[in-house]
Amino acid sequence: MRRKIGLFTIAAFITVLVIAFNACASNVPAEESKQGKPDDTSAATSHAPENGEDAGQPAGNSNYPIAVTDSKGRTIRLENEPERIISIGPDITEIIFALGKGDKLVGRSAFCDYPPEALEITAVGDFYEWNLEMIVSLEPDLIFVSAMNTEENEKKLMDLGINIIFINKTESFGGVYETIGLIGKVLNSETRSEEIISRMKNDVEKAKKAVDGLDRPSVYYVVGFGEYGDYTATGETFIAKMLDMAGGANIAADITGWSYSLEKLMEKDPDIIIGSEDAVKYFREASGYKELSAVKEGRIYAIDPDLLEIQGPRLSDGLLELVKILHPGSLQ
């Protein structure tokens, strides 16, 4: 008898699964058709121009085909100007928008939230998981990747014949200029990229000049805090370099590996502390942290960490912000 009940349960189990499955499935296309519509139209049109592109492109404007070398040392050959681009990495999305090519973006990572227009672009996954199916269905002709990724995803996309350009994190402004220059070249907007680079160079010069010869206050930049462990921009990092350029004496300049500790922080008791809004709030309330003289005396400042951590055109703004915090008034 029990056996029979068991078999009935199997049958019920299977039926439930099938029904549940169907229910889910019937929801999905409905949901998709909302999102999918704009894609569909663009996809329908994309095929025709793809064939006609060679003919349609005015001969004078054509720098293509071009070959570029990416951060992994791979050479990528592009026959035509990329028209459907996916950017996986906030820095690249910012650069593409700054170059005025935001309209060519058909996909982005979930972390690409600047400029605000970027949010209107389809997200194809976060750093950890890429939705390969979505990426393929957007039919990109080029993918920029600066975020972390798995070799498997990489290999898979290459197997599918999609061009990928990898951009590594860099450790200097020079590296950022190179990245902007590279993307400018690929997207046929080299003049614009040169403008951006020279603006950034100007800002960097301005910052250097402003802090030249001034006293260097000791500074601590908060990357992580509290129960997740204390992390800071240790000596080898790009942010540490920027703190130095902005005329600060980073208390973690002599160590490497991002890791720090509250004890050490209390021992060094820096003049100035800089961190995100959340970090500042936490430092003001948490025991230990609120005993630091910079916190007690109100020399803890909030900065948008994206300005320092996203290696795009806003990086020089970040540097100027640091100068304003470390040496108020010096920029006039």
Q: Rule CB under 8 A: which residues touch other proteins?
A: 2-3, 5-7, 9-10, 13-14, 17-18, 20-21, 24-25, 28-29, 31-33, 35-36, 39-40, 43, 47, 110, 122-134, 136-139, 148, 150-153, 155-156, 159-160, 229, 231, 257-259
Taking the least distance from each CB to other proteins, the nearer of 39 and 94 is 39
Q: How far is the CB of 184 from other proteins (least distance, A)?
A: 28
Taking the least distance from each CB to other proteins, the nearer of 181 and 226 is 226
Q: How far is the CB of 88 from other proteins (least distance, A)?
A: 12
Q: How far is the CB of 168 from other proteins (least distance, A)?
A: 12
Q: Exposure string (b/e) for 1-33, b if CB count within 10 Å is 16 or more? A: eeeeeeeeeeeeeeeeeeeeeeeeeeeeeeeee
Closest by CA position to 142, among listed 123, 156, 158: 158
Q: How far is the CB of 290 from other proteins (least distance, A)?
A: 26
Taking the least distance from each CB to other proteins, the nearer of 68 and 134 is 134
Q: How far is the CB of 51 from other proteins (least distance, A)?
A: 12
The strand pair at 230-232 and 259-260 is best described as antiparallel
Taking the least distance from each CB to other proteins, the nearer of 132 and 286 is 132
Taking the least distance from each CB to other proteins, the nearer of 126 and 269 is 126
Taking the least distance from each CB to other proteins, the nearer of 138 and 307 is 138
Cα separations in angstroms, 60 against 63, 64, 125, 181, 225 = 8, 11, 38, 22, 55
Helix axes 173-186, 315-326, angle to 10 degrees: 150
Whole-number Å distance between alpha carbons of 253 and 267:
15
C-alpha radius of gyration, the chain, whole number: 25
Question: What DSSP line would sit under 82-94, residue for residue?
Answer: --SEEEESHHHHH
Q: How far is the CB of 125 from other proteins (least distance, A)?
A: 5
